Copies of this chain bind each other. A is one copy, B any other.
Amino acid sequence: MQIEFLGTGAGSPGKFRNVSSLALRLLDEINSVWLFDVGEGTQHQILRTTIRPRKIDKIFISHLHGDHIFGLPGLLSSRSFQGGNGPLDIYGPRGVKEYVNVSLRTSESRLAYKLRFHELTKQTDGLIFEDDKFSVYAAPLDHRILSFGYRVVEHDHPGELMVDKLAQLHIPSGPVYGKLKRGEVVTLEDGRTIDGRQMIGPAQPGRIVTIIGDTRKTANTLKLAENADVLVHESTFGKGESKLAKNYYHSTNVQAAQIAKKANVKKLLLNHISARYTGKLVYDLEKQARTVFPNTKVVKDFDMIDVPFQKG
């Protein structure tokens, strides 16, 4: 599991940062890539990575401002053109479906795969997706228009069956192993009773990644970020600009760090960086945030951040 940043700028594309998009690379886990926001030029950025568009099977949109969605129709078309034929799910605020459908209809783009829309409303607050490996939660943030934060939770990996221990106890292999692995209590042919739960190693806690799009400081961010391994948070303004941030419905680097600390996350990644910040000023953004939350990094386009398992 890695997070690859495709666009880390704010508002409009600049020479050094594209508009918003990031890829949650789940290739080792489920052979998929999930995108969060698709600003204009995201497909161009992807050309410079190892991501194959056909692997993208979920897209989560934080909000409908142009710098977060104007790359969507082009990406969807190119995915088809490049042989993608598996279904693709799009999660995002109400309106994303009409925008995509009008764009595809106007351009007479026929996709070789099924698009499934999951529109979110201001009532949305909680689980929006679940399978046997992952759950995704969404909650509204506080932006000029409806904007969502997402929390991706990997399910815990159950502990391994301790085959060495079973061998020591001279328990013969066979269907009984499956029952023990599922934690059942088993009576062997020789009369012994074995509790499966004692034959299983410790579970490996799943990882949690929280991605917070454009927003003011708000309680829902804290809820979504709780105990996350990685929190990606917007940082449109710098220290001392909280008034500006509030007026423009954005956050400062220090506000993001305060949330990271309070939510007990392990790592904070700051993105949505204004083009005003270059060189030393970026370094300062990071330094200011680190006084509140030391494990902070201001990311740039094409940064690839690993999300490791925590020691159990």
Which residues of chain A have a CB within 8 Å of any CB of chain B?
Answer: 11-15, 18, 40-41, 43-44, 47-48, 64-66, 69-71, 73-74, 77-78, 81-82, 95-96, 98-99, 102-103, 106-109, 144-145
Whether A73 contacts B74 by the Cβ 8 Å rule is no
- A66-B73, A73-B66 known; A13 vs B43 contact (CB < 8 Å): yes
Number of copies: 2
Q: Report if A108-B70 is in contact (Cβ < 8 Å); known contacts: A12-B77, A102-B99.
A: no
Contacts of A12 in B (CB 8 A): 43, 74, 77-78, 81-82
A-B contact sample (12 more), CB < 8 A, given A40-B71, A70-B107? A12-B43, A13-B47, A18-B44, A40-B43, A40-B70, A64-B106, A66-B73, A69-B106, A70-B70, A102-B102, A103-B103, A108-B144
Check B74–A70 contact: CB distance below 8 A.
yes
Q: How far is the CA of A47 from the CA of B310 in the complex (A)?
A: 43
Q: Is the CB of A107 within 8 A of B69?
A: yes
Instruction: Name the contact of A41 in the complex, choosing from B15, B40, B65, B99 (C-beta under 8 A).
Output: B40
Q: Given the complex of chains A and B, what is the CA–CA distance between A107 and B38 in angstroms?
A: 13
Q: Which residue from chain B places its CB closest to the CB of A99 in the assembled complex?
A: B106
Interchain nearest-CB distance for A96 vs B (Å):
8
> Does B47 lie within 8 Å of A44, measured CB to CB?
no
